[in-house]
């Protein structure tokens, strides 16, 4: 997966479950018209979008080459040209995924999850509602939202947990609200998404 972070946003690895291959792009203000154009184009993309493995691996190799200091000016120019071509492929990949036809039922399911993340949403029930096979449903959901249905539900629960922490609810109360087995289970899940424990996150916000 390729995740795009905008300025002042956390690296997406901090907000996604472990096990995902993630990268980010951060565009700084520049007088260069080309850079500004790319920044504007990337700003139009959704927070999550699928990116094929070929693009991901090429991006990694380019980053590794760019960090070396033992290459010539000609090599630097080739890297720069390859990076421009790769950026266009990323934009094309994202645009194609956005244009893919997503059934309206997906929007209804996502709105329910966002509004009531404390509820359970059995996969079999969602699959039946969507009227498709389990494999197709998961694949299409991931294409539309960048996460599997279960991971997306956890993502929404953690977002709501942040709000409840700010409102003064205890970690135990929040864990109970969202059906986590123990406060430790909730804290581990929170850390997988955010990168730090709930108490550390709240402490940082109050600092």
Sign of CA dihedral 162, 167, 171, 176: negative
**Parallel, antiparallel, or unpaired for β 2-3 and 48-49?**
antiparallel
Mean pLDDT of 62-79: 74
Do 153 and 189 lie in one domain? The reply is yes
pLDDT at residue 51, as a whole number: 59
pLDDT tens for 175-201 read 999 999 999 999 999 988 888 899 999
Do 93 and 112 lie in one domain? The reply is no
pLDDT at residue 184, as a whole number: 94
Q: Please determine, for residue 6, whether its predicted confidence score (pLDDT) is greater than 80.
A: no
Q: Which of 49, 74, 99 is the last residue of a domain?
A: 99
Do 94 and 148 lie in one domain? The reply is no
Do 63 and 108 lie in one domain? The reply is no
Nearest to 158 by CA among 182, 201, 190, 181: 190
Residue 91's pLDDT band, with cuts at 50, 70 and 90, is confident
Q: Which of 58, 79, 99 is the last residue of a domain?
A: 99
Q: Please determine, for residue 11, whether its predicted confidence score (pLDDT) is greater than 80.
A: no
Q: Please determine, for residue 152, whether its predicted confidence score (pLDDT) is greater than 80.
A: yes
Do 14 and 76 lie in one domain? The reply is yes
Environment class of residue 110 by beta-carbon count within 10 Å: exposed (0-12), middle (13-18) or buried (19+)? middle
Q: Which of 99, 127, 144 is the last residue of a domain?
A: 99
> Could you tell me the CATH number of the domain that includes residue 179?
1.10.10.60
Residue 70 makes CB contacts below 8 A (sequence gap 6+) with: none
pLDDT tens for 95-149 read 555 445 567 788 889 899 999 999 999 999 999 998 888 988 888 888 777 788 9
**Residue-number span of the structural domain to which 190 is assigned:** 104-206
């Amino acid at each position: 997966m390729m995740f795009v972070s905008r300025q002042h946003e956390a690296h997406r690895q901090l907000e996604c479950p472990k096990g995902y291959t993630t990268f980010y792009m951060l565009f700084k203000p520049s007088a260069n018209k080309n850079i500004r154009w790319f920044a504007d184009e990337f700003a139009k993309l959704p927070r999550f979008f699928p990116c094929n493995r070929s693009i991901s691996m090429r991006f990694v190799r380019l980053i590794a080459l760019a960090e070396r200091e033992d290459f010539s000016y000609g090599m630097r120019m080739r890297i720069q040209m390859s990076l421009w071509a790769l950026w266009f492929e990323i934009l094309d990949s994202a645009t194609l995924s956005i244009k893919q036809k997503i059934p309206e039922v997906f929007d209804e399911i996502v709105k329910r999850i966002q509004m009531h993340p404390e509820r359970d949403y059995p996969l079999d029930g969602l699959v039946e509602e969507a009227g498709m096979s389990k494999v197709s449903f998961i694949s299409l959901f991931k294409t539309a939202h960048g996460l599997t249905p279960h991971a997306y539900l956890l993502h929404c629960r953690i977002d709501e947990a942040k709000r409840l922490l700010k409102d003064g609810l205890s970690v135990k109360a929040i864990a109970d609200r969202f059906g986590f087995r123990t406060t430790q289970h909730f804290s581990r899940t929170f850390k997988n998404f955010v990168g730090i424990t709930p108490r550390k996150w709240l402490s940082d916000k109050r600092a």
